[in-house]
Amino acid sequence: MSGRILVQMQTPVTQKSEAVEALAAYLNKTIEAGVLDLGAAKLVKSNKGDAFYTVTAKACSCPAAFYHHGPCKHQRKYFPEVKTIRAMNMAGTLEQADKNLSKMPYQYQRMVKAAREAAESEPLGLRGDHKPFKPFIEDEAKAAEVA
């Protein structure tokens, strides 16, 4: 090949069965178990059998991928190496931050250590010498009159 990009897909497009069968014949490949493997993309036959969904690691042309805005069953089956981001609890977040702290600039490390020391020396809710937060400032004289 001359190094030119022959096909550049923005979003996957569902293909007609006849078109995929013609493509398979042209490429001299077989459609095995309803899937035409093209390497970075796979053409997967729909349940009705009238169309093939174009599936890549990042997108799929099936209706589920469109409506659910996430990896569909085709992406999970044919591209399992792509992991989804999982939520992390606070302990996991702090553990990850501790691992990455040594990679941060020195001033940032000092700031984080000082904030942690302050938080550890003065735990929340244990001090009795402060009033709870009030979202509105009240005039105490007017509050006494109303009561």
pLDDT (tens digit, 9 = 90+) per residue, 98-119?
788 888 888 888 888 887 777 7
State how far the alpha carbon of 49 is from the alpha carbons of 27, 33, 45, 85, 97, in Å: 21, 12, 6, 33, 50
pLDDT at 1 over 50: no
What's the pLDDT at 128?
55
User: How confident is the model at residue 41, as a pLDDT?
Assistant: 86
Residue 71's nearest CA partner among 59, 54, 87, 89 is 59
Average per-residue pLDDT for the chain: 76
pLDDT at 74: 86
Give mean pLDDT, residues 1-13. Answer: 64
Whether the Cβ atoms of residue 49 and residue 17 lie closer than 8 Å to each other: yes
Helices 90-101 and 106-121: crossing angle in degrees, nearest 10, is 140
Q: What pTM, to 2 d.p., does this model score?
A: 0.50
Residue 65: phi and psi, rounded to 5, are -65, -35
Q: Helix, strand or coil for residue 41? A: coil
What percent of the chain shows pLDDT beyond 90? 1
Q: What is the mean pLDDT of residues 32-54?
A: 87
Alpha helices (H) in 1-147, listed in sequence order? 17-27, 63-68, 73-78, 90-101, 106-121, 140-146
pLDDT surpassing 60 at residue 136? no
Mean pLDDT of 28-44: 87
